Structures are given as C-alpha cells and as structure tokens.
C-alpha cells in the first residue's frame, strides 16, 4: 500500500501512528515525502536504495529522504523511491506542508501526488474550531477566497466541511479519479471528536452546538453555613457541581460537604484566586462585611448567576457600601418568593431561581466525566424534542462497550437509545416517539447517533 497524506493539523502524527499500527502487524514500513518533512532522530538521509533495504531488514521501519536543509529532508530520487517502494509493505508519503497550522488550502504546486499512489488521506485539524482564520489557516488568502470569509471570522464546522470539499476532495478526484480518498480529522475534545466523526462520514456538522459540550454547571457557594449545606445537597440532585468556600475550618471541610466537587478553606479576600467563569455564585457568608468582600470581587466576573442572601435592610446597607461598583444584575434579596422560613426552604427558593435562570438558555450540558473521556463508543445526542420530554435538546450520553457515560433522561427512552446505539456503525438520525415505548409523555425525541473513536 502506497498512501499519500495531505492537508494540515497532524499529518506527521497520523503517519507515525499508521506506521506503529502496521509495524505491530509485522509489516515493513517506509516513511518519506514528496515535498519537505522535518528530519527526526532516526531519519536516514540517503540516495541509495540498498541503505533503505538494510534499515528495513534491521528493524522493519525506515524514514528516508534527501537533505533539503539542516532541519528538513526532501524527496528521495525518483529511481531510489521506486526501488524503495518494492522493499516495503507500506509506504507513507507526506505530500504537502502547513507550517503547523491546523487548516490550509493548497497552491498550484500542491499536493505532490506520485503516479504510483494507491490511496490519498486528507488530514484536517478540528482544533481550528472557534479560532479566527488569521490564527489557524495556512495560505490564508486562498482559504478566505475559497470560503468567502474574512481573516477575522471564526472557524465553524461548516467552514471545515466546505474547505475539505473545495480544497481537497474536488480537485483530487478530478486529478486522480482512480485513487480512493479518505478523510481523517484530528481532534482532542469531545466536541471536536463529534464534529470530526460527522465530517469523516461526509456530513456537515453545523447542528452540533458548542454549548451542548459545555461542562455541567457549577454552583459556587461563598459561605458554608446551614443554608449552604441544604443548597449543596439539593444542587447535586439537580445535576450541578458544587464548590464551597468558607474561612472557617469547621464549616469548610470535606466531611461536612462530602457532595461537593471542591471545598476551599481560605479568607474571602482571596476569592478572586478561585473564581470560575460562568459559574452560578451564591453569597451566603456569616456576616455583612464578608458579603461585601465577596460581592466586590464577583461584580467584574462573567457569572451565570449572582445572588446574595439577606434582608432588604441588609441588602440596602451592602448596596450603599458598594455603590461605586454595585451591579444590578445581582439577585438581592435572593431566591423566588415562596415564603421560605427555614434553611431548607430558603435553599429551595434559591435553587428554583438558579434553575429558572439556567433553563432560560434552553440547552443541556455534559458532565465532566463525559467531556474528558477518551473512550470510543456511540455518542447519542437529543437534537430535537416535541411535546413533553424528559431532557432538553443537547442532552447526550456515550454508549461504550463497557457501559454508559452520562444520561439523556433515564427510563424507557434511555434504555431504547442504549440498545439501538449498540447496533450503530454510522452516523444516524432517528425519531423516538415516547408513547410507542410505553412512556406517559406524549412527545418525541430525535436522536443523533455518532460513532466516535
């Protein structure tokens, strides 16, 4: 097999991984280039096929080329290359350059595909998603012209899908109609992996919303008293991660807040050291002065929610003390008006208000475990809902060989989706009518199944 690798965002890494896999199967592997490639520690600079044969005989692997510069190798001579192709079971040829950018378009001289090529693999780096074109694209002018974008526009899945089509698939199919072409997208985050899987399957991935792949909301409690403890217990049930901070060791400890993701014991003046962007903040310290210290540090922060407990008189005094920095987006007094009289009821009113704010965004978010997993499986995402259904659009879970990570609502719906996912081997969309699976709800969900590696 003679495979030419083109594109950007991980060609060399892909070649080394392919070489490793082929070597594990007992195949002899030659790595070379038709343009330029960085010289590595084990690179053989040669113009003799016999030296390549010796290296292959010794270890089954040879990376070889001519010297182009101190750091880079160029192509093997044509006759040496042809002879070397007969000595290896697999030949992997890097066929264009991108200067470490994740995306690119070719100029008129690229890529360089030899006439004996048997496969072409196009690489594209999903790490470009969300970046401005000017920061991520090699041959920026060609990319912007092909996509009709400006250099300051941010890269979307639709951009990458179109770029692969216009910059690679269309011209390569025209120039090499008899050579099979495969798309391989390099990806790291779960969002990137999902987009990559869809693009590799030939599907445009704009329906995947980045917000769906945001981490589970964090409730940050400034204060560890009775209301905080009740609120923390309820928040975990409501699927929020909890962080607690207090300056008193008897209140800020993992025994008291065993359900919390993190417990911080420190002076409230140091709150700025622990701030998490977009978290839900509740100020429930043991005193007016500490409330003010926390509020002053949180007003400049991009919070998803900011509330302060206290009577109207206390809030008025705090507002007067902070009049130069007071932010009217703060919920103070905190919570919905339900006549709450004890710590548990106050916690209910606060959590209800947080849920009201959170769900105004109308999308779900994923758990930390799901976002950080490297496991393969089928990612199941609710992409459309009608009527009364258990979860919001964007809810997702990963069905692996060993089990399931996260949830799309539980019950009969989830069980049916899990069973279906175990039969899926390609990107698939299916509607699940809840009445049809014995649920009392009258709605339906459309589920997107994405096999990811």
Round to whole Å and give the CA distance between 189 and 308.
Answer: 35
CA 143 to chain centre: 24
User: Does residue 96 sit in the same domain as residue 150?
Assistant: yes
Q: Note whether 80 and 47 are within 8 A (CB).
A: yes
Task: Look up the domain containing 138 and give its range.
Answer: 2-27+89-208
pLDDT given at position 317 = 81
Round to whole Å and give the CA distance between 208 and 7.
Answer: 24
Could you tell me if residue 397 is inside a domain? yes
For 55, the enclosing helix (H) or strand (E) is helix 49-59
What's the number of domains the chain is made of? 3
| Secondary structure (3-state) at 138 | strand
Q: Note whether 34 and 95 are within 8 A (CB).
A: yes
Residues 6+ apart with CB under 8 A from 148: none
What residues in the chain have per-residue pLDDT under 70?
A: 361-365, 387-390, 434-442
pLDDT given at position 318 = 80
- pLDDT one-digit tens code per residue, 134-153: 999 999 999 999 999 999 99
- pLDDT one-digit tens code per residue, 287-327: 888 999 999 999 888 888 999 998 888 788 888 888 787 87
Q: Note whether 272 and 266 are within 8 A (CB).
A: no
Could you tell me if residue 48 is inside a domain? no
- pLDDT one-digit tens code per residue, 58-90: 999 999 999 999 999 999 999 999 999 999 999
pLDDT given at position 434 = 67
Which pairing describes strands 103-104 and 137-138: parallel, antiparallel, or unpaired? parallel
pLDDT given at position 96 = 92
The structure tokens listed for 275 are 């701030």
Residues 6+ apart with CB under 8 A from 110: 6, 35, 95, 96, 97
Could you tell me if residue 130 is inside a domain? yes
The structure tokens listed for 112 are 């360089």
Domain boundary among 208, 243, 274: 208
Report the share of the chain in percent with pLDDT over 70.
Answer: 96
Domain boundary among 359, 376, 400: 359
| Secondary structure (3-state) at 398 | strand
User: Does residue 288 sit in the same domain as residue 395?
Assistant: no
Round to whole Å and give the CA distance between 243 and 264.
Answer: 8
pLDDT given at position 300 = 86
Q: How many other C-beta atoms are found inside a 10 Å radius of the C-beta of residue 415?
A: 12
Task: Give backbone dihedrals phi and psi of 139, rounded to 5 degrees, phi first.
Answer: 55, 60
Could you tell me if residue 74 is inside a domain? no
User: Does residue 122 sit in the same domain as residue 172?
Assistant: yes
Q: Which residue is associated with the tokens 């490793």?
A: 20
- pLDDT one-digit tens code per residue, 247-291: 999 999 999 999 999 999 999 999 999 998 789 999 999 888 899
Round to whole Å and give the CA distance between 324 and 313.
Answer: 19
Q: What is the pTM of this model?
A: 0.70
User: Does residue 6 sit in the same domain as residue 107?
Assistant: yes
pLDDT given at position 342 = 94
Could you tell me if residue 331 is inside a domain? yes
């Amino acid at each position: 097999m003679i495979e030419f690798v083109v594109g950007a965002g991980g060609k060399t890494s892909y070649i080394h991984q392919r070489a490793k896999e082929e070597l594990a199967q007992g195949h002899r592997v030659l790595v070379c280039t038709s343009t330029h490639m960085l010289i590595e520690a084990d690179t053989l600079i040669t113009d003799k096929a016999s030296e390549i044969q010796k290296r292959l005989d010794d270890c089954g692997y040879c990376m070889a080329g001519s010297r182009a510069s101190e750091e880079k190798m160029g192509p093997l001579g044509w006759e040496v290359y042809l002879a070397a192709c007969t000595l290896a079971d697999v030949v992997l040829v890097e066929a264009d350059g991108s200067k470490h950018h994740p995306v690119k378009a070719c100029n008129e001289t690229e890529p360089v595909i030899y006439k004996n090529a048997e496969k072409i693999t196009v690489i594209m780096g999903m790490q470009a998603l969300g970046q401005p074109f000017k920061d991520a694209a090699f041959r920026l002018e060609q990319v912007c012209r092909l996509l009709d974008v400006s250099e300051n526009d941010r890269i979307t899945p639709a951009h990458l899908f179109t770029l692969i089509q216009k910059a690679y698939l269309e011209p390569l199919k025209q120039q090499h109609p008899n050579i099979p072409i495969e798309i391989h997208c390099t990806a790291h985050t779960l969002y990137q992996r999902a987009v990559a899987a869809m693009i590799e399957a030939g599907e445009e991935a704009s329906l995947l919303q980045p917000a769906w792949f945001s981490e589970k909301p964090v409730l940050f409690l400034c204060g560890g008293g009775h209301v905080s403890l009740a609120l923390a217990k309820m928040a975990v049930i409501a699927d929020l991660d909890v962080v607690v901070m207090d300056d008193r060791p008897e209140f800020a400890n993992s025994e008291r807040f065993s359900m919390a993701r993190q417990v911080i014991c420190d002076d409230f003046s140091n709150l700025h050291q622990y701030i998490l962007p977009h978290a839900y903040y509740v100020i429930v310290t043991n005193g007016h002065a500490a409330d003010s210290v926390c509020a002053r540090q949180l007003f400049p922060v991009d919070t998803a929610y900011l509330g302060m407990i206290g009577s109207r008189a206390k809030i008025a005094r705090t507002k007067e003390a902070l009049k130069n920095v007071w932010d009217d987006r703060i919920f103070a007094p905190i919570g919905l008006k339900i006549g709450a009289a004890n710590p548990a009821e106050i916690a209910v009113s606060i959590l209800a208000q947080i849920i009201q704010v959170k769900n105004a965004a109308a999308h779900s978010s994923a758990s930390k475990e799901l976002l950080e997993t490297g496991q393969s499986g089928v990612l199941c995402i609710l992409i459309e809902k009608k009527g009364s259904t258990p979860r919001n659009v964007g809810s997702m879970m990963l069905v692996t060989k060993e089990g399931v990570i996260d949830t799309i609502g539980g019950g009969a719906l989830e069980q049916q989706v899990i069973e279906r996912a175990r039969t899926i081997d390609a990107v698939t969309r299916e509607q699940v009518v809840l009445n049809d699976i014995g649920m009392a709800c009258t709605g339906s969900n459309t589920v997107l199944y994405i096999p990811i590696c």
